[in-house]
Structure 1
Amino acid sequence: MSIIELGEVRDEPASTPAAHRPRAAGRPLRSAAVLVLALVVLSAAAPLPQRTVSVVPASRTSTAYLGGDSVFVVDPPAPEGDRFLTAYAQPSPTGVGVRRRWQAPLARLGDYLDVRVERGLVLAMAVNDDGVFETTAYDSATGQRRWQHPGGPQPITEGGLLLTENRGDREGAMGRVDPGTGRMLWSMSIPVPSNPAYHRRNGEIDQFVLLQPTGEVQVYDAGTGGLLRSIDTLPGDRAAYQRVQVVGDLLLLVPPGSTRLIAYQLAHLQPLWTAEVPLVSFVFACADLLCAVPQTGGLLALDPASGVVRWSDSGLTNLADVRHGQLLMARPGRGYEVWDAATGQVRTDLGEWALLPVLGLDAPLVGVRSGDDGRRVVAELDLVARRTRIVDVLPGIAGSCQASLPMLLCQRLDGTTALWRLSQ
């Protein structure tokens, strides 16, 4: 079912009155009346901003996910009876509502954490009733089940999927699966307590790094699973625990209990520099710099070529996103600010918003907040322009929203799930 809603009327700032020319002598007053009448007719004929809202056929205990051009509904666990994954087509711009594409049976028990579209498949990720994280692949057009394997999927540059199964204090596994057939092309075990680090090219993995308990850092090809190169980083203490990250073309190593950050060139595992920094929690790329987050909070921006600290901030800030040389930083009680990644300077204050999950790394950032009348204000947070753009103001939203503009999926106050095509 689809409903066409009129858009909200927003107050625009009054424009400066233009200077009026003297009216020509003897001009009949009726010409002004005709002009007014014409303006009224034209304004009535102009289409008002509209939005389309469609109710998604989902129970109050079901979970819905945006993916590709579809909405996927996962039924809750069912100790008795049937349980399904149902795919619905998103409403068209002409107002045609959601329609069911296909329905596939699910195991009665297990918690589903995500459903997404990748490599022409619908991938449903769940923790089964045995506590194992696994991925089930369905044909995106028909819903036919293709394969099921343990682990979480990530796309690799050679067209396949890399499945990684981390089991915490137990040995895990990873391998490459052929998306079309489900055949495992290679697999290997993951040491304890190491977590793989990934090198990406154009958003897809081409290499990954494993840190062995012995201190050996190993770089593998994601397509073949073959070992490319390795280096011994713990010649003395073989029992010490280290952490490793890949940021851009750098491999970053945090030695055990150290306030040092050691950078290697990933291509040849050559040491580049060592920086004295507080205990590092994690590192990420921020424009042309490296941003390190100490365990005590704050932010350090380092030169990736030398490790020299370019700027730092010790405030209670949390990074929310990085876009085009701009950092979206959250300050408790103050909302979001846009910082220049090169200098750490605050560029603008965007106010308080709740960021929504969005599809795609480059998808527009979308935030919502409550209005004075209880409705939800939906806005795009543009870090490059350093401003917010109000997209719509919607009534009756409870939460659990996902966005892929112009589409917005939310649960409503009456417990139903709805999909909006917003008037941008």
Structure 2
Amino acid sequence: MSIIELGEVRDGTVPEPSGRRPPAVGRPLRCAAVLLLALIVLAGATPLARRTVIPVPAAPRATAYLSAGGVFVVDPSTPTEDRHLTAYALPAANGDVRRRWQMPLPGAGNSSGFVGARVERGLVLLTEMNTDDGVWETVAFDASTGGQRWRLAGFPSWTADGGLLLNAFGEGSGAVSRVAPDTGLVLWSVPVPTGGYVSYHGDDVVDRFVLFRQNGEVQVHDATSGRLLRSVDTLPGDRSESQQQHVAGELVLLLGADRTRLEAYGLSELDRRWTAELPGLAFAARCGDLLCAFKETGGIAVLDPATGAVRWAATGEQGIGVVRADRLLTSGLDRRQIVRELATGRVVAELGRWDVLPRVRPDDPLIGVRPGSDGRLVVAELDLAAGRSRIIDMLPRGTNNCQASSWDLLCARLDGSTALFRLRP
């Protein structure tokens, strides 16, 4: 709340009041000040709607995706009509979205639907899953013209040298293949046997991938050439034991079937580093420079990746949160968002109940949404550094299923339409 100074009291003799009432010289000024103060208080209580609402041309039940390259709309599937992928450019200022191109989509067969549109390195990559065999399939379009480049089995990931990997995993055997991004030409493939699993190393791009075989063998491959770099047998005495496997930073983590023993191997040499006993463990993953281990019944333990020692532990939290600098955001069982110091576990703030929206870029602001008491959608920035949630806007009733890219929110509405809410916090 702002404080408006109306005057000051000085030391000295106070004059005697005269018998005559003084003229109301200062009364208009005082009234205006009080009115201004009231307006400031009211403005702090109710967020100002500083947004631009841009309708996106999309048929009811169409699926829209927000990306760094614009908005992409996939027509709903029908028995008789063809589907299309339509690309819209985001307006530089206030105005309508502009259609850039529209292309027919190849027949999807028994598809579970597309899961996203990614725009990177001149390509639009659209990925879906076939429900017959559970195999992912990717269609590549030219980002400028919409022309289809290729259509291949596999989920796409970029490599450190600008190549593209397709991981074609499903219910049976599969393969990890490197393809030429422009043409889809398959350069090499590494078979993945039935029951096998692949995990990638790299933050934004892949430089190595790890193949976990069902018999306990772990193989590290180069993502540029597919060449086998290292291998180790992690189950020399018991081939029947099942494991959960994951690459976390420079470690390969193996979780036994008893959900108690977590083993760590160095990624480069596949040498055993340490073993930690953590009863009821669900999974473990990298959290900044540390490891976060989450329990099946809720709760978190943060481990030192060098030794496996527990740095700190807390109960009642679940799911991998977001790490920003030295802060960790986790979600409680009731969707409460909790900010902790990553190194110590000290609670910095509790931000309330929010659903954190998916982001297009890793460094995009953290946007949380929740339904308001009047049916509108409350939108807030979750600031981990400041340890607070700041309400930005309240979107109209019936707004849901939002995606965030910086301060742009692409949302569906109950009437079946799609809108882009350009916020100005």
In structure 2, the CA distance between the partners of 1:395 and 1:137, relative to structure 1 (3 Å rule), is: same
Counterpart residue number, 1:373: 374
In structure 2, the CA distance between the partners of 1:121 and 1:398, relative to structure 1 (3 Å rule), is: same
The one-letter amino acid of 2:345's match is: G
SS at match of 1:205: coil
In structure 2, the CA distance between the partners of 1:233 and 1:318, relative to structure 1 (3 Å rule), is: closer
Offset of 1:402 from its aligned partner?
0.7
Structure 1 regions of 5+ residues with no counterpart?
1-12
Offset of 1:268 from its aligned partner?
1.3
The one-letter amino acid of 2:149's match is: R
Aligned partners of 2:335 and 2:354 also within 8 Å: no
Counterpart residue number, 1:171: 173
In structure 2, the CA distance between the partners of 1:64 and 1:21, relative to structure 1 (3 Å rule), is: same
Structure 2 regions of 5+ residues with no counterpart?
11-23, 40-47
Counterpart residue number, 2:193: 191
Aligned partners of 1:286 and 1:325 also within 8 Å: no
Counterpart residue number, 2:245: 244
Q: Determine if the alignment matches structure 1 residue 73 to structure 2 residue 73.
A: yes
Counterpart residue number, 1:307: 308
Distance (whole Å) between structure 2 residues aligned to residue 410 and residue 18 of structure 1: 44
Counterpart residue number, 1:140: 143
Counterpart residue number, 2:158: 155
Counterpart residue number, 2:258: 257
Offset of 1:374 from its aligned partner?
2.5
Counterpart residue number, 1:10: none
Distance (whole Å) between structure 1 residues aligned to residue 272 and residue 131 of structure 2: 45
TM-score, length of structure 1 as denominator length: 0.86
Offset of 1:340 from its aligned partner?
1.7
TM-score, length of structure 2 as denominator length: 0.86
Distance (whole Å) between structure 2 residues aligned to residue 72 and residue 116 of structure 1: 9
Counterpart residue number, 2:106: 107
Offset of 1:21 from its aligned partner?
5.2
- Residues 30-66 of structure 1 show CA distances to partners (whole Å, capped at 9, x for unaligned) of 9x88xx8xxx9xx9xxxx9742211111111101000
Aligned residues: 398
Listed as ranges, the matches of 1:258-277 within 5 Å are 259-277=260-278
Distance (whole Å) between structure 2 residues aligned to residue 129 and residue 108 of structure 1: 14
Counterpart residue number, 2:295: 294
Offset of 1:134 from its aligned partner?
0.3
Q: Determine if the alignment matches structure 1 residue 20 to structure 2 residue 19.
A: no
In structure 2, the CA distance between the partners of 1:21 and 1:347, relative to structure 1 (3 Å rule), is: closer
Distance (whole Å) between structure 1 residues aligned to residue 408 and residue 259 of structure 2: 47
Counterpart residue number, 1:125: 127
Listed as ranges, the matches of 1:409-424 within 5 Å are 409-424=410-425
Greater CA deviation, 147-156 or 273-282? 273-282
In structure 2, the CA distance between the partners of 1:311 and 1:106, relative to structure 1 (3 Å rule), is: same
Offset of 1:266 from its aligned partner?
1.1
The one-letter amino acid of 2:124's match is: V
The one-letter amino acid of 1:154's match is: S
Counterpart residue number, 2:13: none
Counterpart residue number, 2:387: 386
Aligned partners of 1:392 and 1:423 also within 8 Å: no
Offset of 1:19 from its aligned partner?
5.3
